[in-house]
Structures are given as C-alpha cells and as structure tokens.
Amino acid sequence: MMPKSARKPKSKEAHMEPSNSEEREQPDKPPFPGEHEPAPEPEASAGAEVFQSDDWWNASSPTSDWAQPVSEAPAPEIVPPKETGTADVYFCGRTSLFPLNRALQAIAKEKLTGLLRLFLDAEPLDLLARDGEIVLVTTRDPDLYCPETPSLLSNVDTDVVTNARDQQRENGTPFPLRLARQESIDREPALELMKHYGQKLFSEAWITPRAWMMFEKNAGLLSDFADLPGEPNVIDWALETLRLVQNPEQTEKFDPACIPAFTRDGFERVQKLKLTSDEAQFASQFNGTRSVQQIAKNLRVDLKSARQLLFRFLALEIVECWPAITAARPEPKGLSRRVGRLFGRGR
C-alpha cells in the first residue's frame, strides 16, 4: 500500500548557524549496480584516495552515555571479507568512529560521485551520489525495500510487478523506477514512492550501532540513472530521514538530566537547516545550561518527544550532551541573545 503523502511539516527555516579510522575492509559483493571488479587488499590500495578532514578526525569532547549503545555485549557485526582488486575507495570505516553525518558531509562538500555502501544486515544498503547530490537509496532485497504492495500498483499486472522486483534483486534498480520506465505507472508518483522508501530504508542506518560503510568513487555506477534528478541539500535530506526514526531509545541510553550544548560549528550549521516549528522551538532552548528535562518542561512536551528531537540534533552533530555533573562549557559571547532573537526566547 503506497504511503499517504505525508503532509510536509511546516518548514521554518532556521537562521541560526551552530573520530581514527579503522582498518579498511572490503565487501564481497560487486559494487552496485552490476560492477564486478573485486575490491583491493588494504596493503594493495595505496593509490586509493582516503578522505580525512583534519576537523573531522580530531578527538571529540566527552559526550553523555545517551549517545552510546545500550547493550553491554557488542552486537554481531557484518564484516565484508577482503578481496583483491582496483576499487577506488575514498573512505571507509565504522560509524562508531566515522559518524554517518560526516560521511554525508564528505559527499556534499567534496561533490563526490559514486556509491556509499552500508552494511546493516545481510543485504547492504546502497546510496548513489552524483556531484555531491543524493540520487537514490536502494538495496537488492525488494522485500526489505518495500515489504507491502503500494496502492499505486493496484492496477498493474502482478506478473509485471513480480518481474520488476526480481530485477531489483539482480541489479538493485528500485522496482518503482523500472515500472515507470516501462510506463506501467506514471513517472512522478514513482519517483515520490522511490524517495520515500529510500529515506525509510536509510533511516535504519542511524540506529544501527557500529555499521560498516565504504564510499567508492565511480561515475560509471550512475550511468543507468542519468535521467534521475539529484537532491542537492544533503543535510536537509538527512534530517528528513531522521524524522522517520521512531524509536531511538531502542539502541541508546538516555539521561533526562544531560545538558545539550552546541558543538563547535553546530550553531552555524543549524542555520542552514529547514526545521519544523517543533524542531526550531527545541533548538531555541540550547544554551549550555538547561537539561533535556528542563527543556521538555519549558516546551510542555513529554520526554519521549524530547528524546526524539534531541536524537536528530545529536545525529547531525549540531549538539553534544554533557552529564549533569559536568559544568557546562562557556557559551560564545552573545549566544543566548542570538538564539533568543532567532527562535524566540526560551523560558
């Protein structure tokens, strides 16, 4: 059943402006879609360009336990076996050391073209980017991609749909796109459906601890999708996927007494985001002294809602949380006044 077009949250453009790589490992599946060159051994990939921004690899300040996985025993890891080859790996590592947000920023800032592959389960998730823009997210498992039958396909022959799903298993091309190219469904609704399921699929990456990822620079991977538009605003796209995360508490500890404070560049970066009114009000409360519990009380929201909102800002590294027993860091001069002017003064 096709998801109802979610009424876009009333956007309120915020005018606020607020990790130690691991050993590179390569997947045993050919790069999406249809490339069959094996990946290099780390020792043989001296020519591979590795993205390492000095700012991003500096040691970060201590954060609260809320941002750490709950389970004491580490979850089973998907580790692709190493192979030899000539894949042009630009960066790779665990999301615990190289956060997913920074991978997306690298794609946008470096205007990369190629494939970001994330290993969350048995079947990897593939994000295709072109010139720093996100083109699509897919997987070779159509049941994981779209477990139900969208209402858009109610009048399409079931054999045609089954064939499109089977072809997605073979090369990863989303079955709504194939159906649109066959003129079985209209193109615009197909692209809307494809964006929704791609973002829903990607949202799982935010709550998967220690996921393994790699980015392969390869313009040839986009040859089959030259007709698709790209999403130029990668960080707003990422925020949309974070809004689809309903239960961040499943993998995170949460201390209502922790104190959110802007990261070094969080105040500047948040100005560029298109925030909903709820997100903007929540962001207006970050002053380095208020706890999450106090913020929830000020805004008259329950702690579950506050947790979900905070999770988005943490995932995008807009803020970091400090334990209640830790003295808040000094705020930049005039920060409270600027926050008050831009979002309305918090109580």
Output the domain CATH number for residue 328.
Answer: 1.10.10
Query: Counting Cβ atoms within 10 Å, is residue 28 exposed (0-12), middle (13-18) or buried (19+)?
Result: exposed
What letter does residue 287 receive in the DSSP assignment?
Answer: S
Whether residue 98 is predicted with pLDDT greater than 70 in this model: the reply is yes
Domain count for the chain: 2
What pLDDT was estimated at residue 248?
Answer: 79
Mean pLDDT of 285-305: 94
Greater model confidence, 121 or 340: 121
Domain end position, chosen among 207, 242, 277: 242
Does 166 share its domain with 45? yes
**Pick from 82-96, 162-176, 214-228, 321-335: least confident:** 321-335
Whole-prediction pTM: 0.71
Does 28 share its domain with 160? yes
Whether residue 347 is predicted with pLDDT greater than 90 in this model: the reply is no
Mean pLDDT of 202-217: 93
The answer to whether the beta carbons of residues 226 and 181 sit under 8 Å apart is no
CA–CA separation, 35 and 337 (whole Å) = 54
Does 51 share its domain with 138? yes
Does 215 share its domain with 252? no
Q: Is 131 left (phi over 0), alpha (psi -120 to 50) or beta?
A: left
Does 30 share its domain with 116? yes
What pLDDT was estimated at residue 221?
Answer: 86
CA–CA separation, 245 and 319 (whole Å) = 18
Does 318 share its domain with 169? no
Q: Which domain holds residue 185?
A: 19-63+70-242
Does 136 share its domain with 178? yes
